[in-house]
Amino acid sequence: MICCLNPDCLNPLNDKLSKNCSSCGTPLIPLLRNRFRVIRVLSQEGGFGKTYLAQDTDKLNELCVLKQLAPRIEGNWALKKAVELFEKEAQLLQELGENPKIPKLLAYFEQDGCLYLVQQFIDGQNLLEELETRQEADIWLRCYSEKEIREFLLNLLPVLHFVHERGVIHRDIKPQNIIRRSSPQELMGDLVLIDFGSSKELKPKLKLKVGTSIGSHGYSAIEQIRDGLAYPASDLFSVGATSFHLMSGISPFQLWTEHGYAWMSDWEKYLSYPISDELTHIIDKLLKKDVEERYKSAVEVIADLKQPQKYPAALPPVTDIEEQFLPPTEIFTVDRHRKLKRLLFAGAAAILFLAGEIWYWKTRENQIRNDTNTQPSIQPAVKRDSILSQPNFNQKQIALIKTFNLVYDTVSSLAVSPDSKTILTNSIYGVKLWSLVTKQEISVFGAHNAKVNVVAINQEGTKFVSGSEDKTVKIWNLATGQEIRTLKGHTSGIHALAISPDGKVLASGGDDNSVKLWNLSSGQEIANFNSHNQRISSLAFDSAGKTIYSGSFDGTIIIWDTDTRSLVRTLRKKPSKIYSIDFIRKSGSISNNSVIGSYNNHISMWNPDTGDKILTFRGHSQPITSIAVNPQKNLLASGSNDETIKLWNLNTGELLTTIKGHSGKVESLAFNHHGNILISSARDRTIKIWQISVF
């Protein structure tokens, strides 16, 4: 399809062979500046033009956002102002784009009487869309909890500090202008600040000069709306108003107009869930009418947020009916009774809400009791009388021996060499090789044209493979670091790789929903499976290499026969995403030749021959993103969005211990060959190495 660039066109999409728009007759432009192919309209910019989704043909058709300025406004001053703001936005993106949480400027040019600004495409929902999705879904947390708001603030405020330090005020912070990344995996969840079209330079004379009133009513501070003045504290007011919107589900503009075009002092009563006194104080200070009474900088807000406090946590959503928690039996404290009453009076359906709160607070009480140690810490297992023998853990038997601090990378894939001497990780720049002996980075392999999502090593330790957003898989010589060949065939980014035990077959999968099998020696494609309807998240071979298991975001795990190239069985048919799977290769246990997979807050083990579920592992409070099997020690490790790693008895499903040390979502886990080393990576941009001594 070709998109018409006439801003007044009502039906801009045309057949790719058309020369003129079938709707308005405007000549069609296949490539703007001989580079950018416009796909479709994203939004209408009032009388100024449109915003389009486009492809950058100079970068393998990488998606980008193209903003058009085609003003249809009267008056030289208004036109001059529109052009000035447009050019200023381009300049700011060029200056600020070094920050990964601000879109990069790709191009700025004039063509056919219109100005065009091209910027990096951010894959994900803005926070207003995210909030609306939650409110439409049948879940407990229809609005943000205190924990989520704190995470939101600690994610966004460093970006705002970066902007303010460079003498820029955004002036239009609101949920629509904050996008949560959904890809690539290593940046998933990061908040990106967009739309700098209203931004203003911070100058010493700013206080003496009345400027143009720009911003969004309800989110913008009074000095900005009334006088056109903007300070760093003005942006912080907008952050406070945005926090209110996310916690209440109510637009600040709605209440702002109802209260005489002023912010209301009793904002807390509109919240969906109670918040702590500490957070109430922070939001209050962000929303002060007088600019002198607000926080002066984002750093001040961050400092208050990091002060120790206790606060109500999120009510965990129940999305998998077959696996609800058993009712807890502990007794409420007097303080929790008081908080429960607050929740009951806030709810409309008292009896139903009471049942949910009893379940939540008692579960929370267990969590608080287990989280009393400082990081890194190990909590002993509550259950000690398993019917089968199991390892005994104590704090001295698990030790953090090394932390790699990363600058930009968030590692989402780990692979350990069979000799336990090196680690491979994915990277923004390619693939990184680390030494487990010296605990140092060895080298970087950067032949891909986009971010690498996943890595894997063969059992001989001679080759490794990498899958990237550039839609290719590369095969490498592990000893020399030389690229052997590139495999092409996927139509979207690669997120899952697995090598058969005999080292002959490579499996790959990703965003095109297909699983491909390759001859690892020749690079020839030997099979293509297409039964999933969402991203392939994980792949695993059985012991013989005759069966491949694929886990997908469509909620299924499918068993494929590699010889007949046919579907054998679907193990799970639930709507919740499968994040990670593995095949347990172990003899002499009930878990022998079993398939294990993580989804939501749970892990399940299946018999692949019958499809029957064997065990379910419960204990995490948020989705589990990674699992790793340690057959030598009869252990299963799981990493979660709750920032913890848990170790389980592989035979009984018993939770043995919880490892705390990361300050972000745990992305990937891997054991070494001997099972005495566990490597973890997380969204806090660290890789941690743990020594595990079990007896």
366-371 long-range CB contacts below 8 Å, 24 or more apart? Answer: 366/328, 366/330, 367/313, 367/621, 368/310, 370/658, 371/660
Smallest CA-to-CA distance from 238 within 191, 307, 294, 302 is with: 294
Answer whether the bond into residue 376 is a cis peptide, omega within 30°.
yes
SS3 assignment for 214-237: CCCCCCCCHHHHHHCCCCHHHHHH
DSSP 302-335: HHHHTS-------------GGGPPPPP-PPPPHH
- Residue in this structure with the two tokens 């589900």, named with its chain if needed: 249
- The alpha carbon dihedral of 680, 683, 687, 689 has a sign of negative
Torsion of CA 468, 471, 477, 479, to 10 degrees: -10
Written as six digits, the tokens of 614 are 């064997």
Q: What's the Cα-to-Cα distance from 275 to each of 265, 278, 284, 312, 354, rounded to whole Å?
A: 16, 8, 12, 6, 18
Using CB atoms within 10 Å of the CB of residue 35, give its burial: 0 to 12 exposed, 13 to 18 middle, 19+ buried. Answer: middle
38-43 long-range CB contacts below 8 Å, 24 or more apart? Answer: 38/2, 38/3, 38/5, 38/66, 39/1, 39/3, 40/1, 40/3, 40/12, 40/13, 41/3, 41/12
* Count of alpha carbons within 13 angstroms of residue 230, beta-carbon side: 26
Instruction: Confirm if 221 and 213 have CB atoms less than 8 A apart.
Output: no
Q: Which element (helix H / strand E) includes 624?
A: strand 624-630
- Residue in this structure with the two tokens 């680690």, named with its chain if needed: 423
| Per-residue b or e along 236-247, where b marks 16 or more CB atoms closer than 10 Å to that residue's CB | bbbbbbbbbbbb
Beta bridge partners of 435: 422
Q: Which residues contact 322 (CB under 8 A, 6 or more apart)?
A: 574
Mapped onto helix, strand or coil, the DSSP state of residue 537 is strand
Catalytic positions are 172
Instruction: Confirm if 376 and 660 have CB atoms less than 8 A apart.
Output: yes
- Write phi, then psi, for 369 (nearest 5 degrees): -60, -35
Q: What's the Cα-to-Cα distance from 437 to each of 375, 434, 691, rounded to whole Å?
A: 25, 9, 13
DSSP-derived letter for residue 406 is P
Sequence-ordered alpha helix ranges (H) in 231-312: 232-248, 252-258, 277-286, 298-305
- Residue in this structure with the two tokens 């660039």, named with its chain if needed: 5
* Count of alpha carbons within 13 angstroms of residue 387, beta-carbon side: 3
Measured CA to CA, the distance from residue 17 to residue 12 in angstroms comes to 14
